[in-house]
Amino acid sequence: MIRHMHRRAVWVVFVCTFLPGCDRSEPGAGPAAQQAPAPAERASETQPAPAATPTSPAATDAGEAEGPDHTDVHEFAAYNATHTYWLAPTIELIQSGEIPREHQRIIYAILARTNEVLIHRMRGQEGNVVYLGPGGHREAVYDADGELVEDGFNDGTYNYAHPVREPLVHFTSDISPWIAWGLSKADPTSVEDRVYAYMGDLEGGIRRAHGAVPLPPLADDHAWDEPGQLQALAIFFRAIEAGDAQELFGLFEPERELTDADLIRVLTALNAGFDEVY
C-alpha cells in the first residue's frame, strides 16, 4: 500500500502526448505539458505511421472509416459491466437525474479527450508510440527503434468502439475489460498497475477538457441510449464515490485554475476509487 501511495503522487510528470490521427484538441498548457522533452526527442510521436505492412494501421484499417457494426459486442459488454460491478443502482440515479447532468457532461468531455498513450508504455517502455488507424478500430504500438511492440502488455489492440467519437462505449467495451483482465491470461501486469497507468492518461483528458471550458451543454432530451454509455458513467460515478473524488467536478467551475496540486488530489482519490470498483 505504501508503494502504491508513493507512486500515485507523480502523475503531473507525465507528458500529455497525442495519438496521430486521433486527438483533435489542443495540448495542455499546465506544468506537466511544459516538462515535455525537446522537439527532437519527441519527433517519433508526431511522424506519420510506418509504411503499410500486414500489421500496420495503414494497411489493416484501410477502407474502414465507419467501421463494422459491433452492436452485439457493445450490448454484451454493457450487460456484463452492469452485473459484474453492480451498476444498476447508479444507472437508476443517472436516469432519474439525481446525478447532475453537468457531472455527466464532464465525464463525457474528459473521456472524449483522453488519449491512450501511457497504458502502452507500462514498465518503463517510455519510447513506445501509438498509431491509430483511420477508422479508430485498429491500433499498433511501435517502440523507440520502430519495431512493433508485442510484449504482451503494451501491444496495440482492436477497439470495438471509436475512442473519440464513442468515448463512453469505448470505455465499457474496450478499456474496462482491459483494466479488469489485461490483454490476456499471460499479461504480467496487475489490476492496480493498469488502473495507475490509465490514471496517467486520464490526467491528459482532464487537462484538455478543462481547457475546453465552457463545455457544450447536453440537450434537455438527451439520453444515453447507446449500449455501454450508462455503464461507463456509472463506473466513474461509483469510483468517484468510493474514492471520495468529488473535487473532480469542482475543477470545472467557471474561471477555476487547474493546478498540479489539484490533479494530484483528484487522481489519487480517483485511483483509489477505481481500485475499489475493480
State yes or no: pLDDT of 221 exceeds 70.
yes
Segment 1-32, tens digit of pLDDT? 333 333 444 443 333 333 333 332 232 323 23
State yes or no: pLDDT of 256 exceeds 70.
yes
Query: What pLDDT was estimated at residue 217?
Result: 87
In angstroms, the CA 272 to CA 38 distance is 33
Read off the pLDDT of each residue in 90-108 and give the average, rounded to a whole number.
97
Number of domains in the chain: 1
Segment 38-75, tens digit of pLDDT? 222 222 232 333 332 223 333 344 445 566 899 999 99
Phi-psi region of 124 (alpha: psi -120 to 50; beta: other; left: phi over 0): left
Q: How confident is the model at residue 219 (pLDDT cuts 50, 70, 90)?
A: confident
In angstroms, the CA 16 to CA 208 distance is 9
Domain containing residue 262: 2-277
Query: What pLDDT was estimated at residue 39?
Result: 23
More confident call, 9 vs 192? 192
Written as one string, the DSSP assignment of the chain is -HHHHHHTT-GGGS-----TTT--SPPP-SHHHHTPPPGGGGHHHHSPPPSP-TTSHHHHSTT-SS----HHHHHHHHHHHHHHTT-HHHHHHHHHT-S-HHHHHHHHHHHHT---SGGGSGGG-TT-EEEE-TTSSBEEEE-TTSPBP-SSSS---B-SS-TTTSHHHHIIIIIHHHHHH-SSTT----HHHHHHHHHHHHHHHHHHHHHTPSPPPPPTT----STTHHHHHHHHHHHHHHHT-THHHHTTSTTPPP-HHHHHHHHHHHHHHHHHH-
Segment 101-158, tens digit of pLDDT? 999 999 999 999 999 999 999 999 999 999 999 889 999 999 999 999 999 999 999 9
Tell me the average pLDDT of the chain. 81
Q: Which residues of 76-89 are buried (b: 16+ CB within 10 A; e: fewer)?
A: ebbebbbeebebee
* Candidate from 10-24, 93-107, 160-174 with smallest mean pLDDT: 10-24
**Bridge partners, residue 166, by sequence:** none
Number of Cα atoms under 13 Å in the Cβ half of residue 102:
10
More confident call, 215 vs 27? 215
Specify burial of residue 152 (Cβ count, 10 A radius: 0-12, 13-18, 19+).
middle
Query: What pLDDT was estimated at residue 15?
Result: 31
Query: What pLDDT was estimated at residue 19?
Result: 36
In angstroms, the CA 28 to CA 229 distance is 26
Q: How confident is the model at residue 218 (pLDDT cuts 50, 70, 90)?
A: confident
State yes or no: pLDDT of 194 exceeds 50.
yes
